[in-house]
Amino acid sequence: MAGNKQGNIFKRMGKGVKDVFAELKKVVWPTMEKLKSTSAVVLLVIVFFAVFLTLIGSGGRWLLDKVGFYDSVATTASESEPESVPDQTTTESTADTTEGTSETSESTEASEA
């Protein structure tokens, strides 16, 4: 790196900033009316495509509803419930049954003795 003759970092940064300002002076800035008309065109195109894509999405949804696509998916999803999640009432009744069984065995052992 001893052969690097570009100068130190601050001189290079200063030259870069000067180059940026020199390029900005060459830019042809639009007039206010040109800016307004161009902005209006851009906003209209955005609104048009927002409405267009919304209609395509809604139309696709309507078409799939008419074909019956969502009916088959909904039926399949509702039939398969996860069995790994225990029911609250089942857990409580199992606990009650287990406690009753242990009490019964204890009372049986006490009566036998």
CA distances from 68 to 55, 61, 76, 103 (A): 20, 11, 13, 57
Each residue's pLDDT tens digit, 27-36: 998 999 999 9
- Does the pTM surpass 0.75? The reply is no
- Domain residue ranges in the chain: 29-78
Q: Kindly report the number of other CB atoms within 10 A of residue 70's CB atom.
A: 11
Each residue's pLDDT tens digit, 75-109: 555 555 556 665 565 555 555 555 555 555 555 55
For residue 73 the two structure tokens come to 């998916």
What rounded mean pLDDT belongs to the chain? 77
Q: Kindly report the number of other CB atoms within 10 A of residue 64's CB atom.
A: 13
CA distances from 84 to 92, 94, 95 (A): 16, 16, 18
